[in-house]
Amino acid sequence: MLTTTLILGLVLGGTYALLALGLTLQYGIARIMNLAYGEFALAAAFLAVALFQGIGLSPLLSLPGIAAAGYGAGWLLYQVMMRPLVARSGGGGRLETDSILATFGLLFLLQGGLLLAFGADFTSISHLERGVDVFGVPVAANRLIAFAICVLAGGALVAALRFTRWGLAMRAVALAPGSAPLVGIDVNRVARQGFALGAALAATAGASISMYQTFSATGGVVFTMKALVIVIMGGVGNVPGALAAGFALGLIETFVATAIDPGLTLAATFALFLGVLLWRPQGLFGART
Amino acid sequence: MTAISRRAALRAVPVGMAACLVLGTGAAAADDATVKIGYAVARTGPNATGAGITTIPNYELWVDTVNKAGGLKMPDGSQRMIEVVEYDNRSSNEDLVRAIERLASQDKVDLILPPWGTGANLAIAPLMARFGYPQLAVTAVTDKAPDFAARWERSFWMLGGGHDYAAGLVDVLSQARDAGTINGKIAVVSVADGFGIDLITGARPAFEEAGFELAYDKTYPLGTSDFAAIMSEAQASGADSFVAFSYPPGSFGMTKTAQSMGYNPKVFYISVGGAFPIYPGVADGKAEGVMAIGGVDADSPAIMDYFARHEAFAGKAPDSWASAITYASLEMLAQAVERAGLDHAALAGELSTGSFDTVIGEVKLEDNQLRDLWWVGQWQGGAFRAVNPAGKEGASVPMIPKPDW
Amino acid sequence: MIRLLLPPAALALLAVWPMMVSDYGLGLLIGAATYVTLASAWALFSGQTHYVSLATVAFYGTGAYAVAVLNEALPYPAVLLCAALAGAAMALAVGLSTLRLRGVYFVIFSFGLAELVRQLITWYEVNVTGTLGRYIFLDVTARGIYWQMLALGAATIALTAWINRSRLGMALRVIGDDEEVAAHSGINLARTKLAAFVLSAVILTLAGAITSPRYVYVEPSIVFNPTVSFLTVIMALLGGANRLWGPALGAVPLFLAFEWLSAHFPDTYPVLLGLLFIGVVFLVPQGILPAAERLMRRRAGA
């Protein structure tokens, strides 16, 4: 029983963590709290399904293309919409509020676009649905794939941030956007890259979600909320923290569902989330500042 | 749709005025030429999905059908075209209430069609009663339907209550158990939402009375997307029957999870969503034997014709639970108008006492409620067929055990 | 003299307005009055301190739920009193634990609060009372609702005007400018913020309680609709959240715009709403009133 809970929880956590990676990156580096994040993932999911149903392209194969498209869309969006807000705020706290309100407008815009393009129906495909035996526990292959994508993308991101020059610039901007230009870093360019990379990760998560979950054009908020909870728990902008928090959340939800009461899974999530905010706003895995 | 019809109406005004000037005939005729029918359904927000599946396509199909046939028939034998006034209620009851006030007091429409959902229908019921409009509450499932029908005497409740569906299911399962096909244990999960709770509170005593043991009985929150933990507990409970009082997309998630983990209970029952046309696709073509709420008499020519027309008009098949009843309620309305005209009191009286010929057969309301309903259906041979009440004409024989996924 | 007489005269005019309009007109008046009240109450706390709260619907929904639970047990005024007390208790508990959060953390916390309240109420209803939907059958007419809401809205604006002139308003403004400075100048940060937060929350809760008879049927998913929180914020910001009449000035035109859009463009409504939202953030970030004031001053200077 414990192994079942453990494995199911870890797989679930992997899918959660994948969803949260992009959001934490967008906030950590570009300082944009993107409330339309879920709609981004949803748009990618619709795209993946359209490609699958239209030309029979497996979401697994279309995923790199969709991620690239997500990067492009994020890049463009930052340039057109976020950049003026950043410039206006001049590095002050205004940006956080402005970005929340602006991306809330974006949320409606994207949701409306999705409704017009794909209608209000539930959308679902069955792809790689069969079970795979993991230590005696049957797990859906598509969820396992999402888990693998999460581990790969998350691992690569952590390594890149830690060991490359590019990663150093990213971390510098995240830590001290005001001082980064002093050492020759183009803050605007780095923030734009961070935001676009976050959008690419949202698209990746969306395309993998399309394989195992039924979704509809109005359901993006649910993804955003879940990602937000994980981002806060892991520490805003903290990529390894988001990974760890995602796994922790998956384990907690599965544990609450099996050992306590499935009716309390979401309440437990929010209680945990509010608890972390109150007692460790820097996140469970962040350093105290 | 609305924009076009409104534009068409605006264009019609000068044309009509010109006609009056030229021909010198009475101006009243132009005003009476149409029947204004208004509705405020959810185009956006969480209710948009349900309204988009069950309510909106049927309203549009019906208006199209009636207008192509020359319009609504009046008692004097004349025909009048339908003009639609539509608003988006944004899935918010506050906006919905205001939209109904607008339809009734500003647009002064002749008839108002109800919105989608139990809560929405209840929210407008006092207003509809005050303005005197008959309310054919189709997509409202509530155990309090008899009270409401008595409270608002021009309201009609047409989809039964949670207890009815639960009792129907218990009936099906009891017969299978008495035949020795399944054991006496049931694993049941329910969604923490009005309807899910109605169903489970109705089912618990009914199961116990029938001698079943609830080996697993849990409620999960609306919005749950992962069912692996719940399903593996249900599987481990030793029950032959899995019963989910669920909503989409949860109903779909559970199906997928059961398939991928190789969970093959002898009875697999889900609630809302099981009768949706996309369900076989969700189940990867393996829907055979899955039971759910609702059902239709799939062999009846009227239903087959309705399904074909719906598919040709909306580009997708209707759902096999509330869609046909929604359409039938509109046919009732048309026939009642033909017999009693547009006077609200006469119309409500006719709806309450008359009998009507519809796609679901002959309909006659009892105490302003439709009671002659299908409670349980099952996917058999690519169609979602009604299996309970077993004695009702057109019922199929339930297939238990369900074939493995 | 005119300044003193104008508000009561306007209020009297607003109070007799429903006699002259259709039911739909009355529906519009109720909607507008509700959002004026919500936006003004929101600005009472958030406008001066710059703490952007998305918890509006947590209080608004609690008010509606309190009425749903108590409407058959108690007379109506007692129900309203209980709703106000529930809102105050909740705001006190939340305020004591959260007001040290700043910036984006406070925003997100307030957003999550509505969800938590909704989940807990759901769980309680399902497991303890065994029913989820509740009914409100009160003999309150639409006009009655309008008058109550009008009174609440007027009281909110009057209260804001009074606070702005009092020590509390002064303290709130200093906190909004710089908390460090406020602390050094001897302002009790916690008590000041808490007082404003609780006042604002009580009004929000009452607003929910007053409108709830229009719902008839109450379910957590119906009354905790997060859009309400966001609409409130954007309305207050559009008008100018730190001006007395700013929130009201933002709420009325936006409310009417939403109504018009959803009637005339039901399919593209969310797209237009999104564009409107973004437009407000980009074009009038300080609000219409402050922008107009600046324009006037420039005129006067030139």
| DSSP state letters, B261-324 | TT---SEEE--TTTTSTTHHHHTTT--TT-EEE--B-TT-HHHHHHHHHHHHHHSSPPPTTHHH
Query: Which residues make Cβ contacts (< 8 Å) with residue B197, sequence separation at least 6?
Result: B162, B190, B219, C125, C126, C130, C131, C132
pLDDT band at A1 (very low <50, low <70, confident <90, very high): low
Chain B residue numbers with beta carbons less than 8 Å from the beta carbon of C219 are: 119, 193-194
Tokens at C266, concatenated: 């039901």
Tokens at C1, concatenated: 């003299």
CA B105 to chain A, closest CA, distance in angstroms equals 30
Chain A residue numbers with beta carbons less than 8 Å from the beta carbon of C274 are: 105-112
Site from C20, C21, C24, C255 to mutate, B interface, most B CB atoms within 10 angstroms? C24
Each residue of A3-46: pLDDT tens digit? 888 888 888 898 889 889 999 999 888 888 898 999 999 999 99
CA B192 to chain A, closest CA, distance in angstroms equals 7
Angle at A108 between CA A107 and CA A113, to 5 degrees: 100
Each residue of B174-232: pLDDT tens digit? 999 999 999 999 999 998 887 888 889 889 999 999 999 999 998 888 878 888 888 98
Q: Calculate the alpha carbon distances from A271 to A12, A260, C16, C127 in Å.
A: 19, 15, 47, 18
Range of the domain at B6: 2-161+300-364
Q: Taking 50 as the threshold, does the pLDDT of residue B31 lie above it?
A: no
> What's the rounded Cα separation, in Å, for the pair C298 and C302?
6
Enumerate residues 75 to 114 of chain C having a beta carbon within 8 A of any beta carbon in chain A: 97-98, 101, 103-105, 107-109, 111-113
Chain C residue numbers with beta carbons less than 8 Å from the beta carbon of A111 are: 270, 274
Q: Give the residue among A280, A122, A80, A82 at the shortest CA–CA distance from A210.
A: A122
Peptide bond into B389 cis (omega under 30): yes
pLDDT band at B10 (very low <50, low <70, confident <90, very high): very low
Enumerate residues 119 to 148 of chain C having a beta carbon within 8 A of any beta carbon in chain B: 119, 122-123, 125-127, 130-133, 135, 142
As a whole number of Å, the CA-based R_g of chain B is 23
CA B6 to chain C, closest CA, distance in angstroms equals 10
Enumerate residues 108 to 167 of chain B having a beta carbon within 8 A of any beta carbon in chain C: 118-119, 122-123, 125-126, 131
Chains that touch A (3 or more CB pairs under 8 A): B, C
Q: Does B44 touch chain C (CB under 8 A)?
A: yes
Identify whether residues B212 and B292 lie together within a single domain: yes
Q: Give the residue among A274, A268, A256, B250 at the shortest CA–CA distance from C58.
A: A274
Chain C residue numbers with beta carbons less than 8 Å from the beta carbon of B90 are: 227, 262, 269
Q: Taking 50 as the threshold, does the pLDDT of residue B27 lie above it?
A: no
Chain A residue numbers with beta carbons less than 8 Å from the beta carbon of B270 are: none
- Count of domains in chain B? 2
Query: Which residues make Cβ contacts (< 8 Å) with residue C103, sequence separation at least 6?
Result: A93, A96
CA diameter of chain A? 57
Identify whether residues B266 and B191 lie together within a single domain: yes
Asked whether the beta carbons of residue B3 and residue C264 sit closer than 8 angstroms, the reply is yes
- Predicted TM-score (pTM) of the model is 0.85
Domain boundaries defined on chain A: 20-221
Identify whether residues B91 and B172 lie together within a single domain: no
Q: Taking 60 as the threshold, does the pLDDT of residue B5 lie above it?
A: no
Asked whether the beta carbons of residue C133 and residue B118 sit closer than 8 angstroms, the reply is yes
Peptide bond into B14 cis (omega under 30): no
Q: Taking 70 as the threshold, does the pLDDT of residue B4 lie above it?
A: no
Chain B residue numbers with beta carbons less than 8 Å from the beta carbon of C115 are: none
Minimum-distance CB partner of B259 among A129, A213, A216: A129
Site from C28, C139, C222 to mutate, B interface, most B CB atoms within 10 angstroms? C222
Chain B positions touching chain A (beta carbons under 8 Å): 43-46, 48-49, 51-53, 189, 192, 218-221, 223-226, 228-230, 232-233, 236, 248-249, 252-253, 256-257, 259-262, 273, 276, 278, 281-284, 316
Chain A positions touching chain C (beta carbons under 8 Å): 27, 33, 81, 84-85, 88, 93, 96-98, 100-102, 104-113, 115-116, 221, 225, 228-229, 232, 236, 261, 263-264, 266-267, 270-271, 273-274, 277-278, 281
Q: Give the residue among A106, A69, A100, A91 at the shortest CA–CA distance from A188.
A: A91
> What's the rounded Cα separation, in Å, for the pair B381 and B384?
8
Chains that touch C (3 or more CB pairs under 8 A): A, B
Place of tokens 């959001």: A23
Q: Where are the alpha helices (DSSP H) in B152-300?
A: 162-178, 194-209, 228-236, 250-260, 279-282
Arithmetic mean of pLDDT, A203-207? 93
Asked whether the beta carbons of residue B52 and residue A119 sit closer than 8 angstroms, the reply is yes
Chain C residue numbers with beta carbons less than 8 Å from the beta carbon of B45 are: 227
CA A135 to chain C, closest CA, distance in angstroms equals 34
Q: Give the residue among A19, A41, A15, A207 at the shortest CA–CA distance from A125.
A: A207
Tokens at A258, concatenated: 């099996």
Asked whether the beta carbons of residue C262 and residue B87 sit closer than 8 angstroms, the reply is yes
Asked whether the beta carbons of residue A112 and residue C282 sit closer than 8 angstroms, the reply is no
Identify whether residues B156 and B287 lie together within a single domain: no
Asked whether the beta carbons of residue C217 and residue B123 sit closer than 8 angstroms, the reply is yes
Query: Which residues make Cβ contacts (< 8 Å) with residue A215, sequence separation at least 6?
Result: A42, A45, A122, A123, A124, A209, B249
Tokens at B212, concatenated: 């079943």
Identify whether residues B85 and B26 lie together within a single domain: yes
The pLDDT value recorded for residue B16 is 39
The reply to whether B397 falls in a domain is no
Lowest mean pLDDT among A99-108, B4-13, B268-277, C262-271: B4-13
Q: Does C128 touch chain A (CB under 8 A)?
A: no
Tens digits of pLDDT across chain C (302 residues): 567 778 888 888 888 888 888 888 999 999 999 999 999 999 999 888 888 888 999 999 999 999 998 988 899 999 999 999 999 999 998 888 777 777 777 887 888 888 888 888 888 887 787 777 788 888 888 899 999 999 999 999 999 999 989 988 888 888 887 888 888 888 888 888 899 999 999 999 999 999 999 888 888 888 888 888 888 988 898 888 888 899 999 999 989 988 888 778 877 878 888 888 888 888 887 788 888 888 888 887 65
Tell which phi-psi region holds residue B279, choosing left (phi > 0), alpha (psi between -120 and 50) or beta. Answer: alpha
Q: Where are the alpha helices (DSSP H) in A164-219?
A: 165-175, 187-212
**B185, B217 Cβ separation under 8 angstroms:** no
Each residue of B52-89: pLDDT tens digit? 899 999 999 999 999 999 999 999 999 999 999 998 88
Identify whether residues B278 and B181 lie together within a single domain: yes
Asked whether the beta carbons of residue C219 and residue B193 sit closer than 8 angstroms, the reply is yes
A115 vs B384, more confident? B384
Specify the CATH number for the domain of residue B259. Answer: 3.40.50.2300
| Mean pLDDT, chain A, whole residue set | 86
As a whole number of Å, the CA-based R_g of chain A is 19
> What's the rounded Cα separation, in Å, for the pair A266 and B69?
52
Chain C residue numbers with beta carbons less than 8 Å from the beta carbon of A113 are: 271
Tokens at B203, concatenated: 């089912």
The secondary structure of chain A in percent helix, strand, coil, rounded to multiples of 5, reads: 75, 5, 20
Q: Give the residue among C222, C170, C19, A6 at the shortest CA–CA distance from B42.
A: C222
Chain C residue numbers with beta carbons less than 8 Å from the beta carbon of B223 are: none
Asked whether the beta carbons of residue B261 and residue A222 sit closer than 8 angstroms, the reply is no
The reply to whether B403 falls in a domain is no
- Which helix or strand (DSSP H or E) is residue B84 part of? strand B79-88
Minimum-distance CB partner of B221 among A11, A12, A265: A265
